[in-house]
Amino acid sequence: MSLTSQRRSVKVFASVAVLSLGLAACGSSDSGDGGDAGSGDAGASKIDCAPYEAFGDLKGKEVSVYTSITAPEDQPHIDPYKPFEDCTGVKVKYEGSKEFEAQLPVRVKGGNAPDIAYLPQPGLLQTMVATGKVIEAPPEVVKNVDANMPDFKEYGTVDGKFYAAPLGANVKSFVWYSPSAFADKGYEVPKTWDELMTLTQKIAADNPDSKPWCAGIESGDATGWPATDWLEDVMLRTAGPETYDKWVKHEIPFNDPSVQTALAEVGKILKDPKFVNGGYGDVKTIASTSFQDAGQPILDGSCYMHRQASFYAANWPEGTNVAEDGDVWAFYLPAKDESSKPVLGGGEFVAAFADRPEVKAFQTYLSSVEWANERARTCGSGGCVTANKNADVSLLKNPVDKLSAEQLTDESATFRFDGSDLMPGAVGAGTFWKGMTNWITGQDDKATLDYIENSWPKS
Amino acid sequence: MSTLQPAATPESLPTESGETVTGSRVGRGKGATSKAAGALGSRWASLVAVLIAVLWTTPTLGLLVTSFRSARDINTSGWWTVFTDPSGLTLDNYRQALEPGAQSSFTQYLINTVVITIPAVLLPIFLASLAAYAFAWMPFPGRDALFVAVFALQIVPLQIALIPLLDIYTNKLGFGQSYWSVWLSHTIFALPLATFLIHNFMRELPGELMEAARVDGAGHVTIFFKILLPLLTPALAAFGIFQFLWVWNDLLVSLVFLSGPEYAPITVRVAELSGSRGSAWYLLSAGAFISMVVPVVVFLSLQRFFVRGLLAGGLKG
C-alpha cells in the first residue's frame, strides 16, 4: 500500500504542475487573441471572503465536482473557482465527462458519488433525489437563490424541498442567420410569427436553388432532441406559457388540441419540402443530419435560417465572424405579436451528495453574484451566461453570451425551462425524441402525439 | 482444425474410398493439409486475401488522411479528394488534440493507460496459468465440474457486475479512487477465458513430460515454472495480446471505476475530445490515431507469437 500512496502523491504533484502550466498557456494565448488585459490570468481578483469564513477553517480540504461539461467548455467553469480557493484554501477537483448522465447514477449507487454534480436537467435531479443521496441545499444557498435567481428556484425543488441551485443558463429561442446574406437580399429580421412565415415564403420564392430553413436532429443516442425544442418553442407561442406549464406537468394530455395546433405550425416549416432542408435535401434528411452540421449551410448560402440554442455558437468553424454585422448572428424566434416574449431555455443545477462544511461553502460560492461575475470576467470562449439576474451583464465579452443574457434579463420576457428536460425521463429523454424523429420521417401529427401520450408513465 | 476440414470432402478423394479405415484417415489428413496449403497458396486465394485486406484497411486509411485535414475540409468534402488535391493538409488537429485538457496533458493520459494496462495483462495471465495447470494436471475431486463452472462465468456479462463491484471497492475495500479497482476488475473479467484457453493448450502437452520430471523429483512448482512456462510462451503471448488490446481500448471499465483525470486512461480523453456538445469532432481522428499507435506497434512486433500461438493450439487438436 505504501507504494500506492507514494505513487498517488507523485501523481497529484504531476497534475498540479500540469494544471499550472495549462493555466499559464491559456492566459498567454487569451491575451494574444483578444488583447484584453488579464482575461485568462485574472483569477487573482479578490472577493469578499466573509461569507465563507462562517463555515470554519477549511484549509487543505477537497471538493470534487462532476459534470457533463468537458474541454474546452470546462475552462470557463474552472477558472472562476480561484477566488474561492484563495479565500478558503479548499481545492476544487473538477471532472467532466460526456458519459455523465449514464455514469452519475452508477457512481451514486456504487457509493462513489462526487461531492457536487452539475445536473443539466431537472428531471435528472428528481431521479437523483429519489436515490436518497442528494443533500438539501444549506440556508446560505437558499438565501442567495432567493435574491439572485428566483425564476429558476422551482426547477431545483423536488417535493417541496429545495436541493439544487441553478448555475449556468442558455437560451434556446434563437434563429441563426447570416446578416450579410440578409442585407444582400434586402430581408429584414422578422418581429412576429406571421412576418417569419412571410419571410420564409419570400426566401423560397426568391431562391430556387436554396431553401429558407435548414435543420438536423441527429445526435447519437439523443436523436430527436432539436425537434422537441422546436415543438416546445412554438407551443410557448401558440398556446402560451400557462398552457405550456400544464402540458409539461401532464395536467393536460400530451396530445391535447393545443399541442396539435403547435405541431401543425412546426410542420408548416419542417415538413414542407419547399422550406427545408437547405444544403442537405428533402424533409427526411433532417433526421439524418447531425445537429452540429445542421446550420453550416448558412455559411455557403444554401440555407437562410436555422433555429438552435445559443450554444450553437461553438459549432461555427474557426474564423467565422459571429457578430450582429458578421457572417452569422442570431435573432429571437418571434412570438405571435410583439407584446409577448416567451423565452425557452435550459441550464445546469448544482446538487450536493456530501454533507461537509467545505461542500456547503462551495455551493454558497456557486450561487453568489461574485461567482457569476468572476465567471463572466475570466470567460474567454463563451457559454458563460448564468441564471443569476444580479450578475453584471456588461462583464460578458462574447457577443452571443451578451445576446443571451439580454434575453434572460429582459423585463417583458417570460422564461420557461426546456419541457423535455422537465418531463419524466421515459418521455423527455425517450419517446418524445423518438416520436419527433418518426414524425420527421413521415408519421402524421396525430399518430405522433398519441404515441407519446400513451408512453407517459402511469402513476 | 475445423477450419481446415472442408478441403477434405469425400468427393475430392474418390480413389481413397477403398482403403482401410486407418489408412483412409491418415491419407485424408495428409490430403487435407496439403490441399489446404495448396488452396491458400493459389493465386486466386491470394487475390481474395489482398482484396479483403484492402477493404479492411480502407476505413483506417481514411481515418488517417482525415486526421491531417482541417475542420472545414472534413465537413465539406470526402477524404479521398486529398489524392487529387493534396493542398491544405495540416498538423493542427494533432496539435489541438495533444494540447493539455483542463487538468492533464495527453501524455499524462497515455502514462495512465500504460500503468493500467501492464498489470491488467500480467495479473490474469499469471493467475490463469496457475489455475490452468491445476485443472489440467492435478487430479482433485470435482475438478471437471469446477472447470465447467469457471468457464461458464464467461457467459455473465461484465456490465451487471459494475455497480456491485464499485460498491465493494469503495465501501468494503476502500480503494475506489485507485488503479487497484481497474486492475482487479480487468483481471476478474479476463480470468474465465484465459483459464480456458491456457488449460486447453496445456492439456495438449505430452503427459510423459510431466511424469519424467516427477520421476526426477520435481514438484508442482518446479514443473510449472521450469517445464511448462517455457513451453506455454506462444499461448501466453497470444492471450497477452488479446488482453492487451482489450484493456488498452477499454472505456467502460475505466469510466466506471476511475474518477478524476489523474487516473483516467487515454480512451476517456479521446471520448471527450469532441467537446461537451460534439462540436469539435474533427479532433477525434487525430486522437484516435495517437491512442492507436502503441497497440499497432505491439501487435506488429508480436504478431509472430500471435500466429504461432494460434497455429500451435490448432494443429495439435
- Residue in chain A closest to B273 (alpha carbons) equals A71
B52 and B105 inside one domain: no
CB-based contact A68 B259, cutoff 8 Å = no
All three cell numbers of A374, joined, read 468572476
B91 touching A (Cβ < 8 Å) = no
What percentage of chain A carries pLDDT values higher than 70?
90
Gap between the Cα atoms of A412 and B246, Å rounded = 57
Please indicate, yes or no, whether residues A209 and A128 belong to a single structural domain of this protein. no
Tell me whether B96 touches chain A (CB under 8 Å).
Answer: no
**In this structure, are residues B274 and B284 in contact, taking their beta carbons and an 8 Å threshold?**
yes
d(CA A255, CA A246): 12
State residue B80's pLDDT score: 86
Buried b (16+ CB within 10 A) or exposed e, A326-345: ebbbbbbbbbeeeeebbbbb
Tell whether B222 lies on the interface with A, counting CB pairs under 8 A: no
- pLDDT bin (cut points 50, 70, 90) of residue B147 is very high
| More confident of the two residues B258 and A9 | B258
Closest partner residue to B102 (CB to CB) among A78, A220, A314 is A78
Q: Does A322 touch chain B (CB under 8 A)?
A: no
* Boundaries of domain holding A114: 47-171+345-416
Helix (H/G/I), strand (E/B), else coil: A275: coil
State the average pLDDT for chain A.
85
Answer whether A4 sits within 8 Å of B170, measured CB to CB. no
Confidence class of residue A214 from pLDDT cuts 50, 70 and 90? very high
The pLDDT score that the predictor gives to residue A250 is 92
- Same domain for B7 and B145: no
- B189 contact A CB<8A: no
Q: Which of residues 388-447 of A touch B (CB under 8 A)?
A: none
Residue at which a domain ends, from B55, B90, B125: B90
Predicted pLDDT of residue A95: 87
Q: Which residues contact residue A255 at a Cβ distance below 8 angstroms, ignoring those fewer than 6 apart?
A: A446, A449, A450, A452, A453
Mean pLDDT of B245-272: 85
Structure confidence at residue A129 (pLDDT) = 92
Q: Which long-range contacts (CB under 8 A, 24 or more apart) does B303-307 make?
A: B305/B233, B305/B234, B305/B237, B305/B238, B305/B241, B306/B237, B306/B238, B306/B241
Answer with the residue of higher pLDDT: B12 or B75. Answer: B75
| Low-confidence winner among A178-182, A306-310, B74-78, B171-175 (lowest mean pLDDT) | B74-78
Question: Which residues of A are less than 8 Å from B179 in CB distance?
Answer: 4
pTM: 0.76
The closest of B227, B236, B220 to B310, measured between CA atoms, is B236
pLDDT of residue B103: 57
**CB contact residues (below 8 A), chain A span 49-68, against chain B:** 64, 66, 68
A388: Cβ contacts below 8 Å, ≥ 6 apart: A148, A149, A367, A369, A371, A372
Q: What CATH number is attached to the domain comprising A203?
A: 3.40.190.10
Q: Does A353 touch chain B if contact means CB atoms closer than 8 Å?
A: no
Q: What is the pLDDT confidence band of residue B32, given thresholds at 50, 70 and 90?
A: low
**Are both B103 and B13 inside the same structural domain?**
no
**Residue B293 pLDDT class (50, 70, 90 cuts):** confident
Model confidence band, residue B314 (pLDDT cutoffs 50, 70, 90): very low
Percent of chain A with pLDDT over 90: 49
Q: CA-CA distances (angstroms) from residue A405 to A77, A235, A313, A400, B281?
A: 17, 23, 14, 9, 28
* Residue A265 belongs to some domain of the structure: yes
B111, amino acid identity: I
* Burial status of residue B308 (CB atoms within 10 A of its CB: 0-12, 13-18, 19 or more): middle
Q: Which residues pair with A66 in a beta bridge?
A: A95, A117
Q: Judge residue A171's burial from the number of C-beta atoms within 10 Å of its C-beta, 0-12 exposed, 13-18 middle, 19 or more buried.
A: buried
Q: In this structure, is residue A22 part of a structural domain?
A: no
Q: Report chain A residues whose CB lies below 8 A from the CB of B104.
A: 15, 18
User: What is the chain B residue with the closest CA to A68?
Assistant: B276
pLDDT of residue B102: 53
Residues B55, B135 share a domain: no
Q: Which of B289, B303, B312 is nearest to B91 (CA)?
A: B289
Q: Could you tell me if residue A88 is inside a domain?
A: yes
Say how many domains are in chain B: 3
Q: Which residues pair with A218 in a beta bridge?
A: A290
Q: How confident is the model at residue A242 (pLDDT cuts 50, 70, 90)?
A: very high
Both B19 and B166 in a single domain? Answer: no
Please indicate, yes or no, if residue A8 is contained in any of the structural domains.
no
State the distance between the two ends of chain B, measured CA to CA, in whole angstroms.
Answer: 7
pLDDT at A377: 87
Interface residue A10 vs chain B (CB under 8 A): no
Are A309 and A382 in the same domain?
no
pLDDT for A32 equals 34
The pair phi, psi for residue B130, each rounded to 5°, is: -65, -45
Over residues A253-304, the pLDDT tens digits come to: 999 999 999 999 999 999 999 999 888 888 999 999 888 889 989 998 899 9
The helix/strand/coil state of B204 is coil
Kindly state whether residues A268 and A326 are assigned to the same domain.
yes
- At residue B125, the pLDDT reads 94
**Phi, psi of A76, rounded to the nearest 5 degrees:** -60, -15
Structural domains in chain A (count): 2
Please indicate, yes or no, whether residues A390 and A357 belong to a single structural domain of this protein: yes
**pLDDT at position A191, please?**
93
Cα angle B176, B177, B183 (rounded to 5 degrees) comes to: 75
* Residue B46, φ and ψ in degrees, nearest 5: -60, -40
Assess whether A215 and A265 both reside in one domain.
yes
From CA B314, how far away is CA B306, in angstroms rounded? 12
A171 — phi, psi (to 5°)? -110, 130
Q: Residue B279 and residue A95: Cβ atoms within 8 Å?
A: no
With cut-offs at 50, 70 and 90, classify the pLDDT of residue A10: very low
Same domain, B71 and B101: no
- Burial classification of residue B139, based on how many CB atoms lie within 10 Å of its CB (0-12 exposed, 13-18 middle, 19 or more buried): exposed
Nearest to A14 among B108, B268, B280 (CB): B108
- My answer on whether A275 and A183 are in the same domain is yes
Q: Do A88 and A235 have their domain in common?
A: no
Task: Using CB atoms, pick whichever of A4, A98, A107 lies closest to residue B178.
Answer: A4
User: Using the beta-carbon criterion (under 8 Å), do A21 and B100 form an inter-chain contact?
Assistant: yes
CA distance B197 to chain A (A): 32
**Which residue in this structure is represented by grid cell 415564403?**
A201
pLDDT confidence tier of residue B195, bands split at 50, 70 and 90: very high
Strand order in the sheet with A329-332: A211-213, A303-307, A174-177, A329-332
Q: Do B255 and A74 touch (CB under 8 A)?
A: no
pLDDT in tens, A319-373: 888 888 889 999 999 999 888 899 999 989 999 999 999 999 999 999 999 999 9
Question: What H or E segment, with its residue span, contains residue A161?
Answer: strand A161-162
B104 close to A (CB below 8 A)? yes
Which residue in this structure is represented by grid cell 469532432? Answer: B281
pLDDT on residue A17: 41
With beta carbons less than 8 A apart as the criterion, state whether A364 and A141 touch.
Answer: yes
Q: Do B105 and A18 touch (CB under 8 A)?
A: yes
Are A435 and A286 members of one domain? Answer: yes
Same domain, B233 and B293: yes
Per the model's pLDDT, the better-predicted residue between A57 and A71 turns out to be A57
Burial of B59 (0-12, 13-18, 19+ CB in 10 A): exposed
Give the nearest chain B residue to A222 (CA atoms). Answer: B277
Residues 115-174 (A) with a CB less than 8 A from some CB of B: none
User: Is residue A92 domain-shared with residue A216, that is, in the same domain?
Assistant: no
Which residue of A69, A109, A220 is in closest CB contact with B276?
A69
Q: Report residue B259 as a C-alpha cell.
A: 474518477
Residue found under cell 475570466? A378
Q: What is the share, in percent, of chain B residues with pLDDT greater than 70?
A: 81
* A155 and A190 fall within a common domain: no
Q: What is the mean pLDDT of residues A43-54?
A: 76
Asked if A99 and A235 sit in the same domain, the reply is no
Q: In this complex, do B262 and A14 lie within 8 Å of one another by their Cβ atoms?
A: yes
The interface predicted TM-score of the complex, written ipTM, equals: 0.70
pLDDT digits (tens, 9 = 90+) for A368-421: 999 999 988 888 767 788 888 888 888 888 888 989 988 888 888 888 999 999
CA nearest neighbour of A131 among A153, A162, A152, A110:
A110
Q: Exposure pattern of A422-447 as b/e (b: 16+ CB <10 Å)?
A: bbbbebbbbbbbbbbbbbbeeeebee
| Structure confidence at residue A30 (pLDDT) | 36
Closest B-chain CA to A102:
B256
Nearest to A314 among B176, B273, B275 (CB): B275
- Which range is most confident: A75-89, A143-157, A249-263? A249-263
Q: Tell me, yes or no, whether A252 lies in a domain.
A: yes
User: Is B27 in the same domain as B174?
Assistant: no
Amino acid making up residue A28: S
Task: Report pLDDT for B1.
Answer: 38
Residue B55 pLDDT exceeds 60: yes
Distance from CA of B286 to the nearest CA of A (A): 16
Q: Is A81 a member of any domain?
A: yes
pLDDT (average), residues B77-101:
81
Of B290, B292, B286, B287, residue with least CA distance to B70 = B286
Task: Tally Cβ neighbours within 10 Å of residue A130.
Answer: 11
Nearest to B104 among A8, A15, A296 (CB): A15
- B33 in the same domain as B86: no
Per the structure, the complete domain to which residue B22 belongs is given by 1-41
The answer to the question of residue A157 being in a domain is: yes
Please indicate, yes or no, whether residues B263 and B251 belong to a single structural domain of this protein. Answer: yes
Identify the band that residue B175 occupies on the pLDDT scale cut at 50, 70 and 90. confident
Contact B179 A4 (CB under 8 A): yes
**How many contacts, defined by CB atoms under 8 Å, are there between A and B?**
122
Q: Hey, are the CB atoms on A96 and B271 less than 8 Å from each other? A: no
Residues B308 and B195 in one domain: yes
For residues B230 and B305, state if they share a domain.
yes
Kindly list the distances between the CA atom of residue B40 and the CA atoms of B29, B43, B44, B306, in Å, as whole numbers in the listed order.
16, 8, 9, 19
**Has residue A97 been placed in a domain?**
yes
A83/A43 Cα distance (integer angstroms) = 7
Same domain (yes/no): A201, A156: no
Mutation to test the A interface, candidates B74, B160, B277, B283, most A Cβ within 10 Å: B277
